[in-house]
Amino acid sequence: GRDKLEELEVVVVHAQPDWTLAQVDSDPEMVADRLLQEVASLIDKPVKELRDCILTKHVHRWLYARPKAAYRLASGYLSSAADNLLICGDYFTVNSEFGVESAFLSAHALLGMESGAK
């Protein structure tokens, strides 16, 4: 359904692993509010101004996104030109022990490959 959001901007906020672990069982609304406060301070905007712009929010914890090293795939991503298929994710071998960062680094590697960047 993201194609229906063409006129909207989607913002994804990730917290540092140590803060995330400390908040793992916290109320999602409280986590969203604390992250919103941090974003507001980083971009020097009032929290109320940002709250007024938000149509919806979702808090997702990457609690189980830490695959065992033995099961990780030995590349940053997979691609198959014949199938027109590109795959990235937290289960690829990247320089991170944190699932969400691994997923980001995998996507970054894939995008670098797609753009021809090294």
**Interatomic CA distance for residues 69 and 92, integer angstroms:** 9
The residues, ordered by sequence, that sit 6+ positions from 76 with a Cβ below 8 Å of its Cβ are: 88, 92, 93, 94, 105, 106, 109, 110
Alpha carbon distance 100, 15 (integer Å) = 10
- In angstroms, the Cα distances linking 65 to 5, 62, 83, 91, 104 are 27, 5, 27, 8, 12
**Angstrom distance (rounded) from CA 56 to CA 62:** 20
Residue type, 86: L
pLDDT score, position 115: 55
- DSSP code, position 63: T
Mean pLDDT, contiguous 10-residue spans, the chain (118 residues): 65 84 90 94 93 87 63 76 84 70 83 61
Report whether 88 contacts 106 (CB < 8 A).
yes
